[in-house]
């Protein structure tokens, strides 16, 4: 419980400081879905606030009989407690707002594969079953979108170096993870962000839109490898020209195109 103490008797000399001390408190924030983020954070806060009583209050105290001064001081700890809890509420708001603004302020975009003279040149990138694909057939485009339409381009955004599929403000987001290890070969998949990121060697940070408006991961472009239905599974190019024993793979530049009015979609997972 917060406590307040005065340094000297009111009416003696300069304004009396009130010291408010809050012992260690643990604040838990969990599943803040209304803000479009899912947070599980523990903040350990130990606050000591030193507040000088205003001149007006001191003048008021000095003009009161001693009994009235004592009565007025009894109300000061309550005021200090309310101030402290307001500060703690502000700390929570600051944490949640940071996550919300990252999504709300991020540029939403779709991707087009560029590699002149190849089958995938100028083809769209879509998402299904935890992966990105180039030239995904229409019957495999199974995202559940807010306008109930079929969209042949996935909408994405980058926030704090991480890549997400756009599912609307305030909804659960789907985040991409990359395995750049020798075994992973640049394997690229998405998962529901609320479930927590997979452990190493999987990585989530390193995405950016470069000066050529291309999406890259730690400077690396993407790789499209053919699958039986005629589409191409997307990998991050790791130096391995044939990840997962794919025989027909094409490196490409993933050109980003701004989506001014993005449609929220939830993309399928296994």
- Please give the pLDDT value at position 123: 98
- Please give the pLDDT value at position 246: 95
- Please give the pLDDT value at position 103: 64
- Please give the pLDDT value at position 104: 64
- Please give the pLDDT value at position 25: 37
- Please give the pLDDT value at position 96: 32
Burial of 254 by CB count in 10 Å (0-12 exposed, 13-18 middle, 19+ buried)?
buried
Burial of 170 by CB count in 10 Å (0-12 exposed, 13-18 middle, 19+ buried)?
middle
- Please give the pLDDT value at position 92: 30
Q: For 138, phi and psi rounded to 5 degrees?
A: -60, -35
- CA gap 113, 64 in Å, rounded: 80
Q: pTM for this one?
A: 0.64
- Please give the pLDDT value at position 11: 45
Task: List, for the chain, all residue ranges whose pLDDT scores fall below the cut of 70.
Answer: 1-104, 197
User: What interhelical angle do 55-62 and 66-74 show, nearest 10?
Assistant: 140
């Amino acid at each position: 419980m917060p406590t307040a103490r005065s340094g000297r008797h009111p009416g003696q000399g300069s304004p009396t400081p009130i010291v408010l001390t809050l012992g260690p408190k643990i604040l838990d924030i969990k599943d803040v879905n209304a803000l479009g983020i899912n947070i599980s954070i523990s903040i350990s806060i130990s606050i000591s606030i030193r507040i000088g009583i205003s001149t007006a209050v001191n003048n008021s105290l000095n003009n009161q009989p001693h009994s009235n001064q004592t009565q007025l001081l009894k109300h000061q700890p309550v005021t200090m407690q309310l101030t402290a809890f307001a500060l703690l509420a502000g700390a929570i708001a600051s944490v949640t707002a940071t996550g919300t603004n990252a999504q709300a302020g991020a540029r939403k975009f779709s991707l087009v594969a560029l590699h002149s003279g190849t089958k995938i040149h100028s083809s769209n990138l879509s998402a299904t079953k935890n992966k990105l694909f180039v030239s995904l057939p229409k019957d495999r485009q199974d995202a559940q979108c807010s306008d109930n339409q079929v969209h042949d381009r996935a909408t994405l955004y980058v926030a704090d170096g991480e890549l997400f599929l756009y599912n609307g403000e305030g909804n659960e987001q789907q985040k991409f993870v990359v395995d750049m290890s020798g075994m992973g070969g640049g394997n690229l998949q998405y998962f529901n962000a609320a479930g927590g990121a997979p452990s190493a060697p999987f990585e989530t940070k390193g995405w950016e839109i470069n000066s050529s408006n291309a999406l890259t991961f730690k400077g690396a472009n993407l790789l499209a490898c053919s699958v039986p239905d005629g589409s191409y599974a997307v990998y991050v190019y790791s130096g391995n020209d044939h990840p997962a024993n794919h025989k027909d793979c094409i490196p490409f530049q993933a050109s980003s195109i701004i989506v001014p009015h993005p449609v929220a979609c939830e993309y399928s997972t296994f």
